[in-house]
Structure 1
Amino acid sequence: MTSKSPEPIDRGSDLAESRPHGGGSARSDAPTTKLDKLREAITEIDQRHAEGESEYFADSTLPSESSLPSDVTSSRDAPSFADALEFDDEAEPEDFDASYAKAKKTAMNMLAMRDHASGELRDKLLKRDFLPAAVDELIAKLQKSRLLNDEEFAHRYVRAHRERRKLSRSALKRELNKKGLPAEIVSGAVEDVAGEDDLARQVAEKKAASTRGLDHEVRERRILGMLARRGFASSVCLKVTREVLAED
């Protein structure tokens, strides 16, 4: 009596899923592995992506990383499809607002400590890595509210440093230029400064008093050096130094 050949087993049947894994034929008809399922899931993702169903990527039905074979999870360093599709249109405005708020707080603290020229304050804020657009908008608003006024700043600076540091017109102009002030504002602030000879004499007299007891040449050199550092013209330096030493 001839034996009936066994009917081929359908891979999708319950029998196929329960078939033992030993032997060559068992390996050829092995059940779908986790790797196979992952491939099927990726194929479905590609299809839905092509159809524009981006909301699918938020679905939690995809295989979890803990359920995947180690050789698969180790290669998943690249961003996921869901990560690639996450666009935040509000990111740039939020960054601008945050940068503007921090820049404003910093600027208020700086202005509370002392006056600043617009360019000087802008440079300091940019060095703190605030967004240039946020800094520019802040500077414009501070100027509009007159919390920043370059012309008034220049005149106040000249008065204060003329009195306290005994700076010449030339030195004052140089200092204002370093603040980034426009040339016309600098010229307007220093043009009315008078009494250059008198101020130079005050500087020379103070230095002469502190060098009494030294040789005449040493005293002369030190007085001339002091006047030169304050920015006085060489003709004024020589004239005042000789007069002060002759009188001392």
Structure 2
Amino acid sequence: MASSRPDGPAAGSGGHDAVEPDPHEVARSIVLRQLTAAPKSRLQLQRKLAERDVAPDVAAAVLDRLEEVQLVDDAEFARMWVRSRAQTKGLAARALERELADKGITGDTAAEALGQLSADDELAAARSLVEAKLKTNADYTDRSVRDKHTRRLVAMLGRKGYSPSLAFQVVTEAIDALA
């Protein structure tokens, strides 16, 4: 026999109404799962909660609490992100600044994190990237070969956030050493 209420319990539920989960617990659970996978900025977590239709006031309350207990810390996230991406991808400060901004980290927090990188660090990273990509068997005395490789290497450094002047300097030095 069907339930006398039009919105009655579904078949097989044992007749008990389902209890709505606490929205704060749901949000906290989502955030903790995200943080388990990889560190995230507050903005990234806020976006994830919005995707999951968590009310903005609930999201803010949960994120505020997790900041209080330092599970969400944009400054630490930014420092770690800069170190990691500079080492693994060889990115320059300019590219890292763009990535941080995409993750909601700007201003003093971004500047402090980017302050970990010195001009010498960037120069060394650019040289390392060029050395890894430089064709040692190419005939760099041929102007067209030299120009082609210079363009490609400078473009690669540009995509990684290096200034054109630094890119040309590093590439020219590396090619001159082989020519």
| Shorter-chain TM band | 0.7 to 0.9
Measured in 2, the distance between the counterparts of 1:151 and 1:112 equals 18
Query: Who is 1:75 aligned against?
Result: none
Compute the displacement of 1:216 (Å). Answer: 2.2
Q: If the length of structure 2 is used for normalisation, what is the TM-score?
A: 0.79
Query: Who is 1:231 aligned against?
Result: 161
Compute the displacement of 1:212 (Å). Answer: 4.5
1:160 paired with 2:90, answer: no
Query: Who is 1:45 aligned against?
Result: none
Q: 2:148 aligns with which of 218, 229, 248?
A: 218
**How does 1:3-14 map onto structure 2 within 5 Å?**
none
Q: Which runs of 4+ in 1 moved over 6 A?
A: none
The structure-2 alpha-carbon separation of the partners of 1:182 and 1:231, relative to structure 1 and needing over 3 Å to count, comes to: closer
SS of equivalent residue, structure 1 residue 146: coil
Q: Which has the higher contact order (CA 8 A, sep 6+)?
A: 2
1:244 partner letter: A
Compute the displacement of 1:113 (Å). Answer: 0.8
**How does 1:125-204 map onto structure 2 within 5 Å?**
125-194=49-118, 195-204=121-130
Measured in 2, the distance between the counterparts of 1:159 and 1:112 equals 20
Q: Larger deviation: 230-239 or 122-131?
A: 122-131
Q: What is the percent sequence identity of the aligned residues?
A: 26
Compute the displacement of 1:192 (Å). Answer: 3.1
Compute the displacement of 1:217 (Å). Answer: 2.2
1:172 partner letter: L
In our comparison, the structure showing a higher alpha carbon Rg is 1
> 5+ unaligned residues in a row in structure 1: which ranges?
1-93
Q: If the length of structure 1 is used for normalisation, what is the TM-score?
A: 0.58
Query: Who is 2:7 aligned against?
Result: none
Maintained 8 Å contact 1:170/1:232: yes
In the TM superposition, what whole-angstrom CA distance separates every residue of 1:15-53 from its partner, at most 9, and x where no partner exists?
xxxxxxxxxxxxxxxxxxxxxxxxxxxxxxxxxxxxxxx
In the TM superposition, what whole-angstrom CA distance separates every residue of 1:132-191 from its partner, at most 9, and x where no partner exists?
111111101110110011111111111111100101011111111111014110011112
Maintained 8 Å contact 1:177/1:183: no
SS of equivalent residue, structure 2 residue 98: helix
Measured in 2, the distance between the counterparts of 1:176 and 1:122 equals 15
Maintained 8 Å contact 1:116/1:153: yes
Aligned residues: 154
